[in-house]
Amino acid sequence: MIKHPRFATFFVLASLFAGLAVQAAMPIPKEPDVGARGYLVEDFLSGRAIAEKNADEPMEPASITKLMSAYVVFKEIRDGSVSLEDKVRISEKAWRTEGSRMFVEVNTTVSVADLLKGLIIQSGNDATVALAEHIAGTEEGFAGLMNHHAERLGMTRSHFVNSTGLPDKEHYTTARDIVKIARVMIDEFPEYYRWYSEREFTYNKITQYNRNKLLWRDASVDGLKTGHTESAGYCLVTSAEREGMRLISVVLGTRSEEARADATQSLLSYGFRFFETHKLYDADTKLATTRIWKGVRENVDLGLNQALYVTIPRGEYKNLDASLQLQEQIIAPTAAHQALGQVVVRLDGELVAEKDLVALQAVDEGSFWQRIVDEALLYFD
């Protein structure tokens, strides 16, 4: 049962169970043993890791690097520095870049939109370098932007030296950091994210197919990116959504295209089969009202800055326990969204989620008389 302190309003409790059929709990088997150097499966909404192996160990990402490259381009478009219609001149360096190609021709011009599709769908190294040079002048300068955004996004164990993922001992990331950039791509750029589900792209009368085999196998899969070099092995980051639950899977260092697809399918199936995600509380919704001292008002409403989701084993919803923990005394002034406590969610005594409980409105300091009266009341409280 979800439990709340005496000051919590009833509708919060009721909203959790409204229209929800309670299923019997099922035993959770051990996660699949897939042949990969590292992997991570995480729920998109709650951020819970469902299965992982070596998720924080730096590894070569190969062309999964291009997620960060695309992110930098999307940011530049959103900031107005670049547009999809811009024409990019193809340098000899871009044209000569080894590995997978879009087959752009040197000294021609190609739109940013086409180059992005070449990067995303065809995994073209030539397209990626051309975009990097268009935005930062040089690929080295572009790598600096990649590292800047990686640091800003909390990708603390990543470092990029090129835009394509070609091997370099100083070029690395982790499965957990890859999930971070995948989540941001889905959340911040839905208008471009749809390109990751496209199965083919034709440029210069050459049609190439998306290397993500799961786009053909599994209708719930809608992205994201493959990668391969001899030293990195076969890699795949995938996102799939079933019945409102979205999972992100990262598999690094498998032995073949088929192996990375099979490993990813096994991990996704495990996550969807044995876990479920629930929204417990909406953002900016009153969860409680509590006394505030020395303010222009006696009470302040409390809620969350962001919706609270939990991912739990299937059938265990009825065993969740949520509590609101407040500061012992709350003194005005307080700002809107100031943390005044926490929402703590446990399952059979184990911590599942924890979020700041914040003031939903600012409360200014009260008059001199109000402050004197409350000071006296606090003395006897």
Write out the catalytic residue numbers: 63, 66, 123
What CA–CA distance (Å, rounded) separates 7 from 325? Answer: 11
Contacts with 73 (C-beta within 8 Å, 6 or more apart), sequence order: 82, 112, 116, 131, 135
The answer to whether residues 214 and 261 touch, using CB atoms and an 8 Å cutoff, is yes
Largest CA distance in the chain: 83
What CA–CA distance (Å, rounded) separates 90 from 364? Answer: 59
